[in-house]
């Protein structure tokens, strides 16, 4: 376990080192990519050398962001840098094998995250589980340490916090979030243009994917849990790309009466990816996912486990149903 730090403790880290490598979790979302793009732009603004790696690269739907080309998939070679900073990643394994190999010789490791299940890895760690997104933490770093906020960083931070709050709809959205966004708007964020790029510019295969998933949608007998399964053959047929399924779990979450929902996805190699959401803090999906080696937030968590997909689905749904029942939710009449 590393040493817990405050944002002010990051000041000498940034001041005393000249080269940095930044990473975020595999299969990145808007918060993961937005955070590293923003931090890179700000560090370069104070004269630092910065490399950004991601195991799977930038998904197509985020390639409108300025600076996305600088996020590269590791080549297998080790990176020569003084500081490695991991963003939005509760455990090191989720960074991916190639990223971990690339940063293996970097002498100082810093972990910046907002997941309640963070394993506090690295030499130094800053974990704020009250932050709506890691992008919100990056904004705090910028404002508290007086870092420059170039336009690319400004827009990337907005994307980070918008996507991790469901466009400011989730329970993690608070006064702090809205104050941050108000400042970003004053700095020139074009809210309409960015929201259109995030939420209204999908490839047709995403519509085909949603159509297929709706055909597998199931709901528990009590009406409180919904789920669907994305099979590998469907992914192959539709040529699904990383990021195509981002946000589709919200279709299930929006069903009246549903308290929790799960998105199951078959992965090549035999694993099953689990994305779980709750509409009530009484149903702690982080605790449910922890039973399967995962974690995240109280109302949004995930896991990845091996085994027969249908058996995994049955075990996960049983655990989730038990959590819903223990929370006291009655069946829908």
CA angle 273, 229, 248 (to 5 degrees): 80
Please work out, in degrees rounded to the nearest 5, the angle formed at the alpha carbon of residue 233 by the alpha carbons of 231 and 235.
75
Q: 189 with 162: CB under 8 angstroms? A: no
Check residue 76 and give its pLDDT. 81
**CB burial of residue 77 (10 Å; 0-12, 13-18, 19+):** exposed
Burial state string for 171-199 with b = 16 or more CB within 10 A and e = fewer than 16:
bbbeeebeebbeebeeeebeeeebeebbe
Tell me what pLDDT residue 243 has.
86
Q: How confident is the model at residue 332 (pLDDT cuts 50, 70, 90)?
A: confident
20 falls in which pLDDT band (50, 70, 90)? Answer: very high
Question: What percent of the chain has a predicted confidence (pLDDT) above 70?
Answer: 100
What mean pLDDT do residues 230-244 have?
A: 93
Query: Which of the two residues, 333 and 99, has the higher pLDDT score?
Result: 99
pLDDT computed for residue 210 by the predictor: 95
pLDDT of 88 higher than 90: yes
pLDDT of 333 higher than 70: no
Q: Which domains does the chain have, with CATH numbers?
A: 3-199 (3.90.1640.10), 204-326 (3.10.310.30)
User: What average pLDDT does this structure show over 147-172?
Assistant: 96
Decide: 68 and 83 in contact? Cβ < 8 Å: no
* pLDDT at residue number 231: 95
The pairing of beta strand 295-296 with beta strand 300-306: antiparallel
Tokens 């996805």 locate to 265
| Whether the predicted pLDDT of 103 surpasses 90 | yes
- Residue 269, pLDDT score: 84
Mean pLDDT to the nearest integer, 292-312: 93
pLDDT attached to residue 242: 84
Note whether 316 and 292 are within 8 A (CB). yes
Question: Which tens digit of pLDDT belongs to each residue from 126-136?
Answer: 999 999 999 99
| Stretch 278-284: mean pLDDT | 96
Average pLDDT, the chain: 96
Summarize the confidence of residues 281-308 as an average pLDDT.
94
């Amino acid at each position: 376990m590393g040493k817990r730090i405050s944002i002010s403790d990051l000041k000498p880290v940034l001041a005393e080192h000249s080269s940095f490598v930044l990473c975020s979790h595999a299969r990145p979302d808007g918060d993961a990519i937005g955070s590293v793009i923003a931090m890179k732009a700000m560090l370069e603004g104070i004269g630092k050398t910065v490399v950004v790696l991601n195991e799977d690269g930038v998904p197509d739907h985020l390639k409108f962001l300025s600076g996305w080309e600088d996020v590269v998939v590791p080549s297998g070679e080790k990176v020569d840098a003084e500081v490695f900073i991991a963003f939005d990643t509760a455990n090191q394994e989720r960074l991916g094998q190639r990223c971990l190999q690339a940063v293996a010789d970097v002498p100082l490791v810093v972990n910046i995250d907002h997941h309640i299940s963070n394993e506090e890895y690295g030499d130094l760690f800053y974990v704020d589980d009250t932050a709506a997104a890691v992008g919100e933490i990056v904004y705090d770093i910028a404002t508290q340490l007086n870092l420059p906020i170039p336009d690319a960083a400004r827009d990337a931070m907005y994307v980070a916090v918008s996507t991790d709050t469901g466009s400011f709809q989730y329970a993690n959205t608070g006064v702090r979030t809205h104050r941050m966004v108000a400042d970003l708007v004053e700095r020139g964020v074009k809210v309409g243009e960015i929201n259109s790029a995030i939420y209204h510019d999908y490839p047709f295969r995403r519509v085909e994917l949603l159509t297929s998933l709706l055909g597998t949608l199931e709901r528990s007998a009590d009406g409180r849990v919904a789920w669907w399964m994305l099979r590998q053959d469907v992914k192959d047929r539709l040529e699904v790309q990383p990021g195509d399924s981002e946000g589709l779990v919200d279709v299930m979450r929006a069903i009246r009466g549903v308290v929790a929902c799960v998105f199951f996805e078959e992965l090549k190699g035999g694993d099953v990816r689990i994305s779980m959401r709750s509409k009530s803090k009484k149903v702690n999906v982080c605790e449910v996912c922890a039973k399967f080696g995962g974690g995240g937030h109280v109302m949004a968590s995930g896991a990845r486990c091996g085994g027969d997909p249908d058996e995994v689905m049955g075990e996960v749904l049983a655990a989730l149903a038990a959590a819903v029942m223990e929370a006291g939710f009655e069946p829908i009449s």
